[in-house]
Structure 1
């Protein structure tokens, strides 16, 4: 649910702030997402993998230590962001300050969600997300009725709402965050965490690099058309990201209790995450020209040409995500890192080749082709890892 409310906040900022400040918001939010990916790699995912099938007397102390670990990672990321805020100015500086203030507890919030899913309490994770979502809505209403639209206030309200969503259950359950124990937890789980961080860096690095190179090779207009089309598929991207928490915890439990079902579970997840983007693409392809223009403006004509290539691209990413989740539940960090190491240059190379042709459609087809190869690689590594785990 938190991904949905964050997406809604993005729409609010887009509609109420000038484009330059929305650009700053996009940059700062991307920085948060990169840090969140690192936090999940170091804390949330190892917690879910190692302890989803453990008894409560083992899992609960580990979860508390993991929350301390998330706090440590959050502070480690917030310090350089705060320093960067001091050497910049204007909206960017204020945006960085707002994120630096909020980041430690936002990472704790995400780790707590993983812990609750690992414990088999998704409804409690939903309550935490609900508190954050309600806080975001209230903060936006207060800002719009009071001082008026402000990038700093939007980001501060977003971050403080997340902090409150952690503070309320922490007080209710008398859960104390212990950074010293968190550091020890990070060390004891570094065999998974370090490889997952490296994989996350490769994935995010390739995505950012291909955007920059497409902008350089094909021009900002083509890059804008691609980004605009990706935004339309934003809710599907949210679904794919949300599947991670559920998929890792449930896959780990299935592997422990009924190993024969594990491959079927992973394959079923792949089907869902692949079909959903294709269904959205099919619906968008049928939208009348007049309705599309009234919804997104004159850019709809170009976006409509990209619906199917981008839909296939997102479908391939969903397929890849399912088998990455499968490798996570097998605790096979080595295979997952290898798959990403081979995939990153392929996606980057084919995306740039498509951009070199000089059309947005060619760039989208190149990216889709690269992600299809990546999907095939992840599936092959998963199948091999499954065979190895059964020997």
Structure 2
């Protein structure tokens, strides 16, 4: 084979990789825009107290999505990214069916919790609980398309979601609706329509009956991913709830509002995970030095994006902040700097984290994130007691920076062991 032919083949491969990455960015931009638009509309339509209630409901959704990805999307990406189309469709049917089952079970629990709590938070929780099966199924199809290298299809279903959501929200704004539940309903119904489109484009019907078989087949991996999600997100959301208990709903709204402003970058980070993990899993032959280079490149790019977006958020004029977040802006502005600084550390750690996950080393991920969880609660709540919401934000920031070097240390040990033939990870059962 000539050098010209080899070079041409490499160029084609690079173009295809860049195209998939580009569609991944488009997809995540659509998803980021949808969630950001909903948060901004609710912040403008209701007062700070009701926005705090929306924050609690949205936090429940966020935790549910991460748990679902641990049980469905991540094992699909790590173990089936390199499989043929027929095998992948069978796995995707099992994965999405499991997401639907988990959504129904978790949604029922959230509805009961909402009915018990009542008042302002209760109706929002009931709405999220009812919509949770559709929301998790939609997210599962996005993960499936990303794992298969079909980011354009993920972008397609998210585009449908955005169009339907914007149409519904425009109608609500036009008639002057100020009820948080109705905005959540539009968001969830649009997501349900996108999930149906995902099943059509994926040519696979979610197989709910395979839920138990899927969970059993991948429990060797997902038990660590699941506990990892429970620890980290449970610690973060638990810390936020403690802010509400020890502080106020307005303080929770301030922290959530800052997360909303930097949220587009956080969601791009999720896109980086969904793109990089299966791509790295397909290339498990790479030497240690090459994996280190890729980890540094991914982390540097993501941290750069976070720095650029954070600078824009920090330089936002007060008039623009009030226009975006209404009464919540004053509190948001006070916690924005530590939120941005903490996010940059998190983004830089994405590089080594993707390498570790692609190698299937979920136990290592769990151990590091267990440390994160402890630090988030202790430093976050400690900061709250010292300086309110601002102190809590600086505590969260410190937790992320303390842990970030541990990712690089763990990754280097794993890739060097793999080079020596001691670190190969079993692909596990097919389904």
The TM tier, using the shorter chain, reads 0.7 to 0.9
Aligned residue in 1 for 2:238: 209
Q: Which residues of 2 match residues 214-293 of structure 1 at below 5 A?
A: 226-255=255-284, 261-284=290-313
Q: Report the Cα distance in structure 1 between the residues aligned to 2:184 and 2:324, rounded to whole angstroms.
A: 26
Query: Which one of the candidate residues 134, 146, 170 is aligned to 1:141?
Result: 170
Report whether the alignment pairs 1:62 with 2:62: no
Quote how far apart the aligned CAs of 1:220 are: 7.2
Q: How far off its partner does 1:255 sit? A: 2.8
Indicate which of 122, 136, 139 corresponds to 2:151.
Answer: 122
Structure 1 length normalisation: TM-score?
0.88
Q: Which residue of 2 aligns with 1:166?
A: 195
CA contact (8 A) 2:135 2:188 kept: yes
Pick from 42, 62, 86 the counterpart of residue 33 of structure 1. 62
Q: Which moved more, 1:115-124 or 1:364-373?
A: 364-373
Residue 343 of structure 1 aligns to a residue in which SS? helix
Consecutive unaligned residues of structure 1, counting only runs of 5 or more, are none
Q: CA RMSD in A?
A: 3.0
Q: Report SS of the residue matched to 1:13.
A: helix
Distance in 1 of aligned mates of 2:320 and 2:200: 49
Q: Residues 291 and 75 of structure 1: is their aligned pair in 2 closer, same or farther, counting only changes over 3 Å?
A: closer
Residue aligning to 2:397: 368
Structure 1 residue 266, shift from structure 2 partner: 2.2
Residues 125, 369 of structure 1: alpha-carbon distance in 2 compared, 3 angstrom cutoff: same
With over 3 angstroms needed to count, the CA separation of the structure-2 counterparts of 1:363 and 1:36, relative to structure 1, is: closer
Is this contact kept in 2: 1:49–1:329, CA < 8 A?
yes
Name the CA shift for 1:89/1:336 in 2 (closer, same or farther; >3 Å). Answer: same
Among candidates 220, 235, 240, match of residue 191 of structure 1 = 220
Counterpart of 1:106 (choices 135, 158, 162) is 135
Question: Structure 1 residues 306 and 247, CA, compared in 2 at 3 Å: closer, same or farther?
Answer: same
* CA apart distance, 1:316: 1.1
Inter-partner Cα distance in structure 1 for 2:307 and 2:137: 34
| Paired position in structure 1 for 2:42 | 13
CA apart distance, 1:74: 1.2
TM-score w.r.t. the length of structure 2 is: 0.80
1-structure distance, mates of 2:42, 2:52? 10
Structure with greater contact order relative to length (CA < 8 Å, sep ≥ 6): 2
Could you say which residue in structure 2 is the equivalent of 1:82?
A: 111
- Following superposition, the deviation at residue 329 of structure 1 comes to 1.0
Q: Which of 18, 37, 46 lines up with 2:75 in the alignment?
A: 46
Alpha carbons 2:52, 2:252 under 8 Å: kept: no
Mapped to 1, the partners of 2:397 and 2:373 lie a distance apart of: 13
Residues 112 and 219 of structure 1: is their aligned pair in 2 closer, same or farther, counting only changes over 3 Å? closer
CA drift at 1:390: 2.5
* Cα distance change on mapping 1:75 and 1:46 into 2, 3 Å: same
Task: Assess if the C-alpha contact under 8 Å between 1:251 and 1:265 holds in 2.
Answer: no
| 1:300-315 correspondence runs (5 A) | 307-315=336-344
Distance 2:313 2:120 in 1: 35
Structure 2: any 5+ residue segments left out of the alignment? 1-29, 421-431
C-alpha change, 1:217 and 1:165, in structure 2 (3 Å) is closer
Once the two structures are TM-superposed, the CA of residue 78 in structure 1 deviates from its matched residue by 1.5
**Cα shift readout 1:330-386 (whole Å, capped 9, x = no counterpart):** 111110001111232233333344444437655444332221111112222222222
